[in-house]
Amino acid sequence: MGGIRLMIKILNTQSRDFDTLFEQILLRGKQDIEGVTHKASQILQEVANHKQSAILEQVRLFDEWNPKTINDLFITPQECQKAYQALDKDQAKALHIAYERIYSFHQKQKQQTWLDIEDNGSILGQRWSPIERVGLYIPGGKAAYPSSLLMNAIPAIVAGSQSIVVCTPTPKNQTNHLLLAALHICGIKEIYKVGGASAIGLMAYGIENIKKVDFISGPGNIFVATAKKIVFGEVGIDMIAGPSEIAIIADDKANVEYLAYDLLSQAEHDEMASSFLFTTSCEKAKQVAQTIDKILPTLPKERIASQSINNRGAIIVCDTLDEAIHLSNQLAPEHLEILTERPFEVMPKIKHAGAIFLGENTPEPIGDYLAGPNHTLPTGGSARFFSPLGVENFMKRSSIISFSKQAIQSLGKDCSLLAHLENLDAHKQAVLARLDTKQ
C-alpha cells in the first residue's frame, strides 16, 4: 500500500482480530437513543400538554423562523400546484415516471378480503381495510427528499387511506419546490411545516383543529426515530430506522469503479451511514479503496462521505464467496448488491436483507428513486425481522367468524371443555347454552 493511509479500512477474515472487529460492525444498529430519549420525551410532553403554543415555540427554536399562528405552518395545495407548474419538462417527467412505477409495484401488494365456508356451515375469513388517517414524516433538514414522499405516500394511497397528513421541517421557512411538486402529484392536501420530535407529537396527539393520526411512517434523524418509539401504542409506526447502509458481495470480476461509486452512494447520505464490501479478491479490495480516495474529492458532499467511509465503512476480504454470503447474512444490511458473475445463483442463499440488487446494471440508487419497490427499509440488522414499507403497513386485518347451528353443535363440547380447563366458567356456559344437550 506504499504506506499511504486509505480512507476505508480493509479487513481480512484470516486476521487474528477479525471476529472482534466484525462484532463491532454488527453492533452498528445500537443507536444512542438513551442520549436523546429525555429530550424527545420533553418535546412530546410539551406538545401533549400545550398543543399549538408548544408547536409554534418549537418551530421557532429548531427551524429558526417565527410563525405567529398554526395557520402559518400550513402549506396550501395551491403552493404545491404552483411548484409543480414551475417544473421544467424533464423534472416533471422524472417525477411522473417514479410515481407510476412505484404505484404499479405497490398495487400488486394489496391484500384482499377472503372467506372460507366449511362443510359444517361455519364461515371463517379475513377482512382487510385501510388505516383511515395516516401521518408521513418527510425529512427536510440537511436535504429535502421528494423520493421519500413518493415512497411513503403511494402505499397509503394504494391501501385506500382516506386522510394523509405530511409533516416536513422547513429551516428558515424555506420550502423545497421539488417536494411541493411531489405533494401535488400525490394529491396530498394537509401539509405542515413542522419537523423533528415536534412533528411526531403533532401527528400522534393532535392539536386544536388538527386531528391525530392512527399510523406514522417515514424516515428521520435520531430524535424522530426516538419520538416514534415513544408514541408507539398511541399510534402505529412503520419501523425505527437508523442511518442508511449498503453492503456489496463482489467477486474478482466486478467493476472497480462501480463498486467505489456504489459504496459512496450511501456514504454521502450521512456521516453515520455505513458502507461494506465483501470480496474474495485482495487486489480488488485495494483497487476499490484507492478508487474511493480518488473519487471523494470530486463529490459536493465530500466532507460527509469522507467521515462516513472513514468511520463506518469497511472492505472485508473473504476466502470464499460462501464466506462472504455468510457474513452478509450476519450483517442483515438495508441494501445488498450482488455483483458476481451469476448473481441469481447467490440470491437463494441470502437470508437477511432489506432490498437485494442483482447484477452490475442495478446500482442501489435505481431502487431509491424509480425501480418500484419501496426504499423505506430496515436498517442496523433489523432486516432479520422487519420488511420494507409496503401497502400492508397502511392496512389492518379483522378476523371473520360465523358459526352455523351445525358447527356450534359439533365443536361446542370441545370448546366448553377447553374453557373449563382454564377455569373460565362464563366462557364455558356461553357455549353450552347454545347446545341442544346442555351439561
Q: Give the catalytic positions in this structure.
A: 334-335
Question: The dihedral of CA 382, 385, 389, 395: what is its sign?
Answer: negative
Strands across the sheet containing 123-130: 114-117, 123-130, 395-402
Distance of alpha carbon 307 from alpha carbon 268, whole angstroms: 9
Assigned C-alpha cell, 217: 411512517
The set of cell numbers assigned to 330 is 450476519
Rg, the chain, Cα only: 26
Residue 24, marked binder:
no
335 marked among binding-site residues: yes
* Amino acid at the residue 347: M
Three-state DSSP class for 378?
A: coil
Q: Show the CA angle centred on residue 63, arms to residues 62 and 68, nearest 5°.
A: 105
Does the annotation place 427 within a ligand binding site? yes
Q: Whose CA is closest to 106, among 62, 56, 55, 161?
A: 161
SS (H, E, C) 306-365: HHHHHHHEEEEECCCHHHHHHHHHHHCCCEEEEECCCHHHHHHHCCCCCEEEECCCCCHH
On whether 244 is known to bind a ligand per the annotation, the reply is: yes
Residues 6+ apart with CB under 8 A from 376: 148, 151, 152, 217, 218, 219, 238, 239, 241, 388, 389
Is 368 marked within a binding site? yes
Which of 183, 194, 193 minimizes the C-alpha distance to 78? 183
- Amino acid 144 reads A
Residue 158 and residue 188: Cα distance in Å, rounded?
13
| Cα separation, 83 vs 162, whole angstroms | 24
Phi-psi region of 359 (alpha: psi -120 to 50; beta: other; left: phi over 0): left
Residues making up the binding site: 244, 266, 269, 335, 368, 422, 427
Q: Which residues are annotated binding-site positions for substrate?
A: 244, 266, 269, 335, 368, 422, 427
Q: Annotated binding site for Zn(2+), which residues?
A: 266, 269, 368, 427
